[in-house]
Chains A and B, each alone.
Chain A
Amino acid sequence: MKQTFVLDHKKQSHPFDPLQLHQSIVAACLAVRSYEGEAHQTAERVCKKVIDWLAPKDEVTSTDIRRVAAEHLSVYHPEAAYIYQNLEMMV
């Protein structure tokens, strides 16, 4: 499987890290008081969807990852999706 690269806000490219995505989704789920097991399960499902979406792509932006992950997360956990998408603004 080919590696997809992610462009960050400073236009620096680095390989997509599914673990980092998993952790950020778990954090968003826990922030809205999900059970830890449920948070991991949701993160796993969302990560799978994002990885499928990335499969044909060589390079995307970090904003793309956040948008697509939030789209899928909103199916399983709308509140966590809101937190995930707006966390930076809240901080």
Chain B
Amino acid sequence: MAKQKFDYDLVVIGSGASGSVAADIVASAKWRVAMVENDEIGGETANWSSIPSKALLRAAEVYDDAKVQGPQLGLRSGSIGYNYPSVKAYKDAVLRKSGSKSFESYYKSKGITLLKGHAHFISPHEITIERRHISAAHFLIATGSKPVDGKVQGLDKAPYLTPRTALDVIRPPKTLFIIGAGASGCEFANLFSAFGSKVYIADEAARILPKEDQEVSEAIEHMFRHQRGVTPLTHAKVIRIAKIGLMTAVTFLVGSDEHVVKVDQVLLTAGQEPMVDIGLENAKVEHTKNGVKTDEYLTTSTKHIYAAGNVLGRFMYTHTGVYEGRIVANNLLNPKQLISPDYTAVPRVTFVGPEVASVGLSESDCLKRDLRIRTAVAPLNIIARATIDNVTNGFVKVITDKKGLLLGASIVAPHAGESIHELTLAIQHGLSAANVAGTLHAFPTWSEAIRVACAKIK
């Protein structure tokens, strides 16, 4: 970048997963890079989402294992308990170690200018931050997403928790009503039920985790109901919440029947929406409330402005954000060798007990596309690892086309989030179930169930 016409070569709006990766790579190529953040450096994942919630879930997992599994393994765990402020202190220690607080010095060492404030486009090449006008040759919109505002009557008057505030409750509520049974809702149900809360989890969909395969939803619903005392409420539309004394009354409809539940806390996990309110109209960047529109190279309708991460409204995962950030960095640095993202095999993990991990197409995705498929399921209880670890629930399901090429897979098992990457690699590189079944899998590991499931495809 020889021309010095603009203040910066690249301004990245947002310091989350995609923005920080792109800024880092581009700054390494000696571009003049600035990154704008109006909240904590590091964005949602590092500060309020994946990292802190998984730290709390880790404590919940150890506590639940000791309490429930301990006696079955001959351990005395009758007196086990927890101190929630200490659990939160562990979460805070994880946040400190994970580096979100040290990002600032790292970016300075890389020569990236950090600008704090709300960025707003005032023209295609110019933004305003705290009334300071900054111009750049290129921009990357990586503003991420925010929780969807609930459309439930009474939300403006009765207090409720959000995925962000739920991480900082003083103690687990005695009773909790979660609105939304997607991945985030289920993880909070898992967390608080492990610490003894009575949890209700409601969704308008026909099953919890509606984006996963039917078998996955059934397995997790069974686990919630029978091991954790959680009450899953499907086909349930929450219509009203109201504060009554110290409690909150939640009114919901199942069919035409109206039900009321009184709880200590309500948690709203109704999904995420892209943050597009940054004056994109002034930069002539096409967008809707569902996200910024880009071409296959992640370029917006204004050619020098790129977008990556949750603001695209495609996949709301940190790993896809990082991937897209790398692609934007490549396309900025190598305009003659443009690359586009490949979403053939996007792994997704829900951290409940046991973990749920899936990749590629689900069975319903295949049916919608009218694909002729084969499926095979290997229950966990047929492998040695499950017997050793005293785990009875869970399975591996694989989906292939008629020729046996892997299209998708779901795993409900301990460490499913690790095991899924074998199948991710297989799907990404067009391998067949026979290829995976013919690969040696160490004994006794959870991955043996993957080999068994793949071997079942004939």
Contact = CB atoms under 8 A, between A and B. Distances in A.
A59 B281 contact: no
Given A7-B128, A13-B131, A57 B282 contact: no
A64 B131 contact: no
Interface residues of B, number: 13
A63 interface: yes
Interface stretch (B114-122, B179-187, B244-252): B114-122
Contacts of B281: 63-64, 67
A57 B131 CA distance: 9
Contacts of A56: 38, 118
A60 B38 CA distance: 16
Contact of B120 (A13, A60, A67): A60
Contact of B279 (A5, A13, A61): A61
B129 interface: yes
Given A5-B131, A13-B131, A59 B282 contact: no
A79 to B, nearest CB: 23
A58 B130 contact: yes
A58 B120 CA distance: 9
A58 B116 CA distance: 12
A63 B277 CA distance: 14
A58 B279 contact: no
A54 to B, nearest CB: 11
A59 B121 CA distance: 10
A61 B130 contact: no
Contacts of A53: 277
B131 A58 contact: yes
Contacts of A60: 120, 128, 279
A58 B117 contact: yes
A60 B131 CA distance: 9
Interface string B125-140: 0001111000000000
Contacts of A5: 131
Interface string A43-57: 000000000010011
Nearest to B130: A58
B119 to A, nearest CB: 10
A64 B38 CA distance: 20
A56 B38 CA distance: 10
A67 B284 CA distance: 14
Contacts of B130: 58-59
A9 to B, nearest CB: 11
Contact of B282 (A13, A58, A63): A63
Contact of B129 (A58, A63, A64): A58
A13 B120 CA distance: 14
Nearest to A56: B118
Interface in B91-134: 117-118, 120, 122, 128-131
Contacts of B282: 61, 63-64
A64 B128 contact: no
A46 B27 CA distance: 44
A40 to B, nearest CB: 25
A75 to B, nearest CB: 15
A72 to B, nearest CB: 14
Interface of B: 38, 117-118, 120, 122, 128-131, 277, 279, 281-282
Interface of A: 5, 7, 13, 53, 56-61, 63-64, 67
Given A5-B131, A61-B282, A63-B281, 6 more contacts: A13-B131, A56-B38, A56-B118, A57-B120, A58-B130, A59-B130
11 contacts: A7-B122, A57-B118, A57-B120, A58-B130, A59-B122, A60-B279, A61-B279, A61-B282, A63-B281, A64-B120, A67-B281
Leading 8 A-B pairs by shortest Cβ distance: A59-B128, A59-B131, A58-B130, A58-B131, A61-B122, A56-B118, A57-B118, A61-B282
